[in-house]
Structure 1
Amino acid sequence: MSDIIGITMGDPAGVGPEITVRAIAEMSETDRARTRIYGHRNTLEKALEASNLSLDLGPLVENIEIEGGVLPWGKLDARAGDAAYRFIARAVSDAQGNKIGCIVTAPINKEALNLAGHHYDGHTGMLAALTGQRSAFMLLASDRLKVIHVSTHVSLKTAIDRATPERILATIRAGNDHLKRIGYETPRIAVAGINPHCGENGLFGTEDDEQIVPAIEMARAEGIEVAGPISADTVYHRAYNGAFDLVVAQYHDQGHIPIKLVAFDTAVNISLGLPIDRTSVDHGTAFDIAGTGKANHTNMNAAIAYARKLAARRAQ
């Protein structure tokens, strides 16, 4: 198994190229030798200029051409969406072939992706399709708070419908398996409720009793240490202060808001339930500052550090 990580450049018109080259520039020679960039060489060179950096990218780049060459910074473009897809597809192929041990993704633009005919809700759904999986799970990880989502990029109404006992149980299992893999002997998992105060015994809805409780009972029967449902207005505070190792969020904003509040620049997005490993920054393409040299690569550094741990464990 390879301990090399592969960074996909993201949308060529966004900040992905800049945060990629900034992170590469700060690496040791040893780490740089264990890194590949899946992207467009000329765009990366422009990102170096924008960042006032001088760096020989040399053999690091798996060059993938873009229709039209270097595209304008900060502009929505279907050609950029198609290129972002092809960067990821090449990296997935290499991960499946054990040429790289983990993929780190820079941000893509979902609108550009769909304009190019690649109809996915984001990286997680795309990676599931490319690896032949029915679905995957999004986990956001920081030092003091980790959150895994039952659903992500769907409407709130659809999210509640998707929170079936089977899906919640699968989410608990995925989170439990991942934490064990990274060193937690017996992960302590909390499941957030759907309704205010978990429905108050049906006063504010019955979904918690009908959809979440059965999943928790099944998880406990499998030996998983899981508590809940716990009201979402208290569970994250408790987890942040050490009561739990992981929170299962029922939908996108229920999980994203608390972790972005406490770890906006350092939280890492990890895809679970796939035959390959993938980490990502937890921010968007930031078209408004793309090409200005202002992009902050702190989150990229965190995603790379997490990826190196996963790649090393996979290699072992």
Structure 2
Amino acid sequence: MSKEYVVIPMGDPAGIGPEIVVKSLNKSTAYNDANLVVVGDRNILKKAAEIDKIDIKINPIKDLADGDYRPGIINLIDLHNVEMSTFEYGKVQAQCGQAAYDYIKESHRLCIEGGAAAMTTTTINKEALKAAGINTLGHTDILSSLTDVKDPLTMFQVHKLRVFFYSKHVSLRKACDLITKEGIKNYIHRMVDALHTMGVDKPHVAVAGLNPHCGEHGLFGDEEVKYITPAVEEVKSEGVDVTGPIGADSVFYQALHGRYDGVLSLYHDQGHIATKTVDPDLTVSFTHNLPYLRTSVDHGTAFDIAGKGIAREVSLDEAIRLAAKYASAFKYSQA
């Protein structure tokens, strides 16, 4: 069986993205499960290799079929869009924000038109994007705009724990206001569909509680009574294997140990804390409902250590591994 192509936008040149790309693609296992293509800038990757003291070949290509897919080789779509005379590590720079956006846009094109089945993203900086005149909250919003998918589904995976997010980059007050019965029902169905695509035959899912002790029947908040429990009961009557709401102080631990195939987190930090406490290095972000699979590292640009050769590539290794594992299923389920 032929390997799928996974495309990797290099990320903000001033961050650790280029360094972890070089480290990951130099490993003997890099191409075991997929053909990897990087979209970025040759000069920046060459500099990253020098910093990391890695002897890796950079192979500029025009099309995915031109690549030489072996460890120690970076098959690169070179956009050549960083002016090295003004480039600095660890600084917010408009040119780097624009470059990072361009890498994502070209990676998207390769997934839509060029034959790539999945995208694995590294790190971008929101301030750099803003300096370049790109008003976005990050990768998910960029990909949402490029694909016309208005509400992509975000999932984090670490070990056996899969966490889906009802809301993401909104205030805690607004996250509470967004809770509705129909909204909860919709997200339960969406997470079950996503798990089916990932090969989970009969998903057993859970919904986390919003309030302490799930509100204690209205004593500490009434969202569970008014919206969450009715939503769970209605979806259950439709044949979905769903449990909840379950207190957030226990449901993630239970899922980590196999009781549930997925958990719906009701706001950003609830699920982020749960997954990153388990293992921040191996937590991988998935974006579902796009025309292709997208996985991502779950850390930032780390401007404080960029250019020092000490960035760890473990999260990128895992994001690439999972993209390779699931790429075919997503490609053909959404074709």
Q: TM-score, normalised by structure 2?
A: 0.89
Q: What residue identity is the alignment partner of 2:160?
A: R
Give 1:61's aligned amino acid.
Answer: L
How many residues are paired up? 316
- Is 1:276 matched up with 2:292? yes
Tell me what 2:81 maps to. 66
Match of 1:4, SS state, is strand
State the secondary structure of the residue aligned to 2:4: coil
CA distance in structure 2 between the aligned counterparts of 1:161 and 1:63, rounded to whole angstroms: 45
Cα deviations by residue, 1:207-240 (Å, 9 ceiling, x for unpaired): 1222222332342243221111111111112212
1:149 aligned partner: 165
In 2, the alpha carbon distance for the partners of 1:235 and 1:33 equals 34
Who is 2:107 aligned against? 91
Instruction: Decide which moves more: 115-124 or 100-109.
Output: 115-124
User: 2:303 corresponds to which residue?
Assistant: 287
Q: Is the 8 A contact 1:10 1:87 kept in 2?
A: yes
Change (3 A) 1:187 1:292: same
Work out which of the residue numbers 219, 224, 236 in structure 1 matches 2:252: 236
Partner of residue 77, structure 1: 93
Alignment of 1:165-176 (within 5 A): 165-176=181-192
Change (3 A) 1:12 1:208: same
Segment drifting more, 28-37 vs 38-47: 28-37
Which residue of structure 2 lines up, in the alignment, with residue 308 of structure 1? 324
Once residues 117 and 98 of structure 1 are traced to their aligned partners in structure 2, the CA distance between those partners, rounded to angstroms, is 28
Match of 2:123 among 103, 107, 112: 107
Opposite residue 40 of structure 2, the aligned amino acid is G
Q: Does 1:44 align with 2:37?
A: no
State TM-score, norm by structure 1.
Answer: 0.94
After superposition, the C-alpha distances for 1:142-200 in whole angstroms (9 at most, x for unaligned) are: 12211111011111111112232333223222221222222211111110111111111
Q: CA deviation at 1:315?
A: 5.6
Contact 1:124–1:137 (Cα < 8 Å) also in 2? no
Does 1:9 find its partner at 2:24? no
Give the corresponding residue for 1:21.
22
Q: Report the residue type matching 1:62 in the other structure.
A: I
Range moving further from structure 2, 161-170 or 257-266: 161-170
Letter in 2 for 1:66: N
Deviation sequence 1:64-104 (CA, Å, 0-9, x none): 13252472111111221111111111111111125201000
Aligned AA for 1:132?
A: D
Contact kept? 2:159, 2:256, Cα under 8 Å: no
Question: Following superposition of structure 1 onto structure 2, how do residues 217-228 of structure 1 map, counting pairs within 5 Å?
Answer: 217-228=233-244
More strand, by proportion: 2
2:281 is equivalent to residue 265 of structure 1: yes
CA distance in 1, matches of 2:176, 2:131: 28
Mapped partners of 1:286, 1:168: distance in 2: 35
- Name the CA distance, whole Å, in 2 between partners of 1:37 and 1:104: 10
Question: Structure 1 regions of 5+ residues with no counterpart?
Answer: none
Alpha-carbon contact 2:33-2:324 (below 8 Å) kept: no
1:161 pairs with 157, 177, 189, which one? Answer: 177
Q: Which amino acid aligns with 1:19?
A: I
Single out whichever of 92-101 and 216-225 deviates more from structure 2: 216-225
The aligned amino acid for 2:18 is P
Letter of the aligned partner of 2:117 in structure 1?
G
User: Tell me, what secondary structure is at the counterpart of 1:243?
Assistant: coil
Q: What is the aligned partner in structure 1 of residue 69 from structure 2?
A: none
- Give the secondary-structure state (helix, strand or coil) at the position aligned to 1:202: coil
Does 141-150 or 110-119 show the bigger shift? 110-119
Residue 119 of structure 1: aligned partner:
135
1:180-219 maps to which residues of 2 (within 5 A)?
Answer: 180-219=196-235
- Worse-superposed segment, 292-301 or 144-153: 144-153
SS at match of 2:88: coil
Structure 2 unaligned spans of 5+: 62-74
RMSD of aligned alpha carbons: 1.9
- In structure 1, distance between residues paired with 2:28 and 2:143: 27
CA pair 31-248 structure 1, distance change in 2 beyond 3 A: same
Residue 8 and residue 29 in structure 1: after superposition, are their counterparts in 2 closer, same or farther (change >3 A)? Answer: closer
Decide whether the 8 Å contact of 1:2 with 1:100 is kept in 2: no
* Cα displacement string for residues 42-65 of structure 1 (whole angstroms, at most 9, x for unaligned residues): 111111111101111203111113
